[in-house]
Structure 1
């Protein structure tokens, strides 16, 4: 699973490297982008399926306990919010100090909404936060909120409630398109990818296992489906990218024995920081190349991608060990121990 987290993060980095090269080196508009042979941006879909699996797996000890929703939310917010707020604040500093053009038209409403994980329109009318990549975290927060509503119930009822609310929300959004931008955002079928992760957890929790050759075959099927749909109608993203992502996650978690690797642990642990920090590394290297007047193809097509990947890995490692882990330790020291561990009386038989 840790390797798959890292792969998903690097896929998103590669997707944004390609966008930067197409825009800045080739001078193309978005409409002119050549067809990519692989949908690297689907790393986000892998993240969503992983998230559904992890939420179902990590909350299994909370079901049936009073106050479980508080424990669940504290654990998730402690993991997600601090680094995201730090990177969002850094964007705002860049806006004020460096006048970075790509973020120059940000509004106060968008800034406040970004910190609250609320989908608000940017100046182009698109529901993107100040740190663009944070759109996916707005979906994560929706999932956390819905999950928290049911987590105190017994597991079958809790997971069933999550399935029902998200599925009905998507169906309502399709049949009765809401006027509200936020409701349109939250009812997008992409939220069903979290349910795929829960379904995989339910399968694996019933001791479903595959031999390694079968896992490789399932994973390669997922990879093949990604290759079959390099470009999609985003209305059907849940099917065209979500289902291949689910196959890859299933292959990753259904082994007969768990293998551990220190490199895999590091790669998985820093994946969230990779996801949030790579935009800054891309911007820094673009600034250096353009300020230096460098137009050599080798610098842009080889040096730039390699520099972004290595720079992002270095930056994310520093962020994880110098910020994420200390903040998590501080929260664990100062938060109520019973709340963090989910100690509470059963809520029912």
Structure 2
């Protein structure tokens, strides 16, 4: 039931790439691509979070309660994140070391193990999302430890608590710039009770509800997704937001309201189409397998393309559109190669190891 979700995984990763491939981040752009598409590309992460909730619900349905199943789950899921990240960590660490560009505040151990920390402490800033993934996996493992059948009630309780806490934070000005140091102390507000948790929970609910539904009409959900993303665009552009707008900490509540709604509606639409045996774009479904590699590799290729562009400027005639397209294609080709030759084999070895030494 997840063919269309695989397509969404690829498109979400590509959307993040588009977001990071706009001036002034890069010295070139793709003139044909509407500004709104790249501007809102950070919302690819929100789609990832909802999809993660869906996958967790699907893969744990019918799980036997107890320590053995919970341990197997946590090793599989944590291992999946680390096996995908560590090869890239080695590459980035070597490059940053050679360039002498590792900031003093970077936590090497924190970056390796992706434990919760301030954004400035990650070797690669975008890996903050992986810390949230691990956090949600831990929640699900604890639920399995007790009993998977109680997941809906437990996650609903957690979700309501997070909403109430964030209303309290908002009313007391914790999302205002002048209170940033207080709000980010101990990571309770930006991480442990972040409204982004709601996106994972909603994804979990979507999967459980759709599992029981024979068919749904995807059209209203597609319209709801369109309306929410249009409203998000106008709010991001004209809402007089602080700093990076909904991509930053100060407007994370609005981000979850607009883009969380968008991601949930989009996923319901995708699952609804699949219930009707509509699963187009087979090639994009395959590329969904490489979405993790796309997400982790694209920063390297964007930096390399920008450096090369500056070096060659003035020596040869450069077309910004072609340079942009070439960079995107390089990211996609390498990511697919990395998935097939590195990520997938390592993951298979990990699964075999866990099966041999943990399940017996």
Please state how far the C-alpha of 1:22 moved relative to its aligned partner.
2.5
- Alignment partner of 1:151: what SS? helix
**Distance in 2 (alpha carbons) for counterparts of 1:89 and 1:174:** 41
Q: How does 1:1-349 map to 2 (within 5 A)?
A: 1-18=5-22, 21-25=23-27, 36=36, 39-99=40-100, 103-107=101-105, 110-121=107-118, 126-127=119-120, 129-169=122-162, 171-172=164-165, 175=168, 180-186=185-191, 187-210=193-216, 214-230=217-233, 231=236, 232=246, 233-255=251-273, 256-258=275-277, 259=279, 262-293=282-313, 299-300=319-320, 302-337=321-356, 339=358
What is the TM-score when the length of structure 2 is the normalising length? 0.80
Distance in 1 (CA, whole Å) between partners of 2:313 and 2:102 is 23
Q: How much has 1:280 moved relative to structure 2?
A: 0.6
**Alignment coverage as a number of residue pairs:** 321
Distance in 1 of aligned mates of 2:316 and 2:256: 40
1:123-178, Cα deviation, whole Å (9 max, x unpaired)? xxx45521111011111111111111111333331332233235424533553666
Unpaired runs of at least 5, structure 1: 27-33, 344-349
> What 5-or-longer segments of structure 2 have no aligned partner?
29-33, 175-182, 237-245
Contact 1:82 1:324 in 2 (8 A): yes
CA distance in 2: counterparts of 1:263 and 1:23, whole angstroms: 29
Supply the distance in 2 between the matched residues of 1:159 and 1:182 (Cα, whole angstroms): 26
Q: Deviations over 1:16-51 (max 9, x none)?
A: 001xx224538xxxxxxx973661211110110001
Shifted more, 235-244 versus 160-169: the winner is 160-169
Distance 1:221 1:290, change over 3 A: same
Equivalent position SS for 2:319: helix
- State the superposition RMSD in angstroms: 2.8
Residue 102 of structure 2 contacts residue 123 of structure 2 at CA under 8 Å; is this kept in 1? no
Contact kept? 1:146, 1:165, Cα under 8 Å: no
Counterpart contact for 2:80–2:347, Cα < 8 Å: yes
**What's the TM-score once normalised by structure 1's chain length?**
0.82
Shift of the alpha carbon at 1:227?
2.3
The separation in 1 between residues aligned to 2:316 and 2:196, in whole angstroms, is 40
Q: Distance in 2 between matches of 1:144 and 1:294?
A: 50
Change (3 A) 1:253 1:294: farther
